[in-house]
């Protein structure tokens, strides 16, 4: 019996090391690549992610065309659309790679039952992580809640290193199968706020490999030190490519091995395993997208300040490192990892705003917005999540700035009104004497805002509130 197979692209927009594609090539006579744009689940892609998705789909469609195939684009409820395509084509199999967001996992289980009832094969492959979350448990058979033993488990037990090459050609797709245009999905913004994104990113599989090779060539050797300096491009900047599956994590490790960089890349590999940890937490504790992992925080009395939240979102808090990070985010769809921790701590600890407000803003503005990482990292900083981050850790934006942006290079890039201040005052511009402010052309309270809150008082208030919640004592 000839097999007509639907290859369902999701968060795996690549041809290299795509297990579902590899299985389809081995099993099927006809392969119909599809992408279904479904905005119905909770946490549908935000604005920056939609921008990236438009360009990533465009790159994938062009590559499929070069190999003799065609990407079929549809929109709507994915279960219904998938059934429509099956009815149109007579397909008797659907292959895809697994994604781990709770709504999609639930949908896939339902789909499996539904398709099985109609004698349609539904096969899901592991193409986006190093290991399946359910295969990584402690000696008691429980999922890990702390990263270090999770990391040691990976180093001890390893993972599947097999990768697959890109195909050189693909079966054609009949023109009788109708497709929407990518532009019809309306993923790009109607108001042109996205010009900065074009200057910083190349979405798509080719862009992912270009970025990986640049990182390995220029930055891996100094990764341990440079990754904490926001004025340097010391991180891999592969996170959006990994989220959209334009490159696999196994392919990255294979490239490290090919170039003999495995030992030099130990710190970077640790971050890749942290990514697996985030997906493991989401898989085992799906409620953490919206509710705290630590149940003691279920009824925690977060404050509500529209003024503070808006100042934070707009990069107008009066704290230069915070404002630099938030402006970098708005302009590029990205924020340096060290600065992400600082701005999150400021909002949730000093500002006592609910961590989910920050998570939702990042979700809408980050090109690498990933539900697993976003949820876990915001809760980690807020003190209500997994791992061993103590609830009393509060990042001081001034001392963090002085330590990791000593010359104020990052601040000067993203907060240009402070650019002429001397290093002595750029981290705390409100302390600069009046004559220094005038000489720099930046009057605090006029050209740049005064601090929206006081660090010491807000820190003490946060510690008191957290202590009461954690220990039950004032």
Nearest in space to 351 (alpha carbons), one of 310, 314, 320, 384: 310
Where does 366-454 have alpha helices with state H?
371-382, 397-404, 409-414, 423-426, 434-440
Q: Please say whether the beta carbons of 197 and 333 come within 8 A.
A: yes
Residues designated as active site: 271, 274, 302, 337, 355, 378
Q: Are 364 and 46 in contact (CB under 8 A)?
A: yes
Give the per-residue SS3 of 445-463. Answer: CCCECCCCCCHHHHHHHHH
d(CA 114, CA 110): 6
Dihedrals phi, psi of 309, to nearest 5 degrees? -60, -45
Per the CB < 8 A criterion, the answer to whether 442 and 431 are in contact is no
Please, what's the largest Cα pairwise distance for the chain?
85
Beta-carbon count within 10 A of 186 CB: 12
State the burial class of residue 448 (Cβ atoms within 10 Å of its Cβ: 0-12, 13-18, 19+): buried
Q: Specify whether the CB–CB gap between 79 and 43 falls below 8 A.
A: no
Residue 126 contacts residue 37 (beta carbons within 8 Å): no
Distance (Å, whole) CA 236 – CA 214: 9
β-strands 30-37, 4-9 pairing: parallel
Cβ-count burial of 161 within 10 angstroms (0-12 exposed, 13-18 middle, 19+ buried)? exposed
Supply 242's token pair: 């990994």
Q: Are 291 and 385 in contact (CB under 8 A)?
A: no
Rounded to whole angstroms, what are the CA distances from 359 to 169, 216, 332, 356, 377?
A: 41, 30, 17, 5, 9
């Amino acid at each position: 019996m000839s097999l007509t197979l639907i290859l369902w692209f999701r968060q795996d927009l690549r041809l290299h090391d795509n297990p579902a594609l590899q299985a389809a090539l081995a099993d099927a006579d006809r392969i119909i690549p599809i992408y279904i744009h479904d905005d119905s689940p909770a946490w549908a892609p935000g604005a920056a992610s939609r921008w990236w998705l438009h360009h990533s789909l465009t790159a994938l469609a062009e590559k499929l065309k070069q190999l003799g195939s065609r990407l079929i684009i549809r929109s709507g409820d994915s279960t219904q659309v998938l059934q429509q395509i099956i009815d149109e084509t007579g397909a008797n199999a659907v292959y895809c790679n697994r994604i781990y967001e709770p709504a999609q996992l639930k949908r896939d289980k339902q789909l499996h039952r539904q398709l099985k009832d109609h004698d349609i094969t539904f096969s899901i492959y592991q193409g986006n992580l190093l290991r399946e979350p359910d295969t990584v448990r402690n000696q008691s058979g429980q999922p890990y809640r702390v990263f270090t033993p999770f990391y040691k488990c990976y180093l001890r037990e390893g993972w599947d290193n097999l990768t697959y090459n890109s195909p050189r050609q693909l079966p054609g797709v009949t023109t009788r199968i109708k497709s929407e245009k990518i532009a019809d999905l309306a993923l790009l913004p109607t108001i042109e706020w996205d010009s900065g994104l074009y200057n910083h990113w190349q979405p798509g599989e080719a862009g992912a490999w270009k970025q990986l090779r640049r990182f390995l060539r220029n930055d891996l050797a100094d990764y341990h030190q440079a990754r904490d300096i926001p004025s340097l491009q010391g991180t891999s900047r592969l996170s959006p490519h990994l989220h959209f599956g334009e490159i696999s994590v196994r392919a990255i490790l294979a490239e490290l091995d090919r170039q003999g960089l495995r030992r030099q890349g130990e710190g970077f590999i640790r971050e890749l395993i942290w990514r697996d940890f985030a997906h493991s937490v989401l898989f085992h504790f799906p409620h953490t997208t919206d509710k705290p992992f630590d149940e003691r925080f279920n009824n925690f009395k977060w404050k509500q300040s529209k003024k503070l939240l808006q100042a934070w979102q707009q990069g107008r808090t009066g704290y230069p490192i915070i404002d630099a990070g938030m402006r970098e985010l708005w302009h590029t769809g990205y924020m340096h990892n060290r600065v992400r921790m600082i701005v999150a701590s400021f909002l949730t600890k000093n500002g006592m705003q609910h961590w989910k407000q920050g998570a939702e803003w990042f979700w809408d503005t980050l090109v690498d917005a990933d539900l697993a990482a976003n949820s876990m990292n915001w809760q980690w900083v807020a003190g209500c999540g997994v791992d061993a981050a103590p609830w009393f850790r509060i990042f001081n934006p001034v001392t963090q700035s002085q330590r990791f942006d000593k010359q104020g290079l990052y601040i000067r890039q993203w907060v240009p009104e402070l650019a002429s201040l001397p290093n002595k005052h750029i981290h705390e511009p409100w302390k600069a004497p009046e004559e220094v402010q005038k000489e720099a052309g930046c009057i605090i309270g006029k050209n740049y805002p005064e601090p929206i809150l006081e660090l010491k008082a807000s820190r003490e208030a946060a510690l008191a509130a957290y202590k009461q919640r954690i220990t039950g004592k004032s």
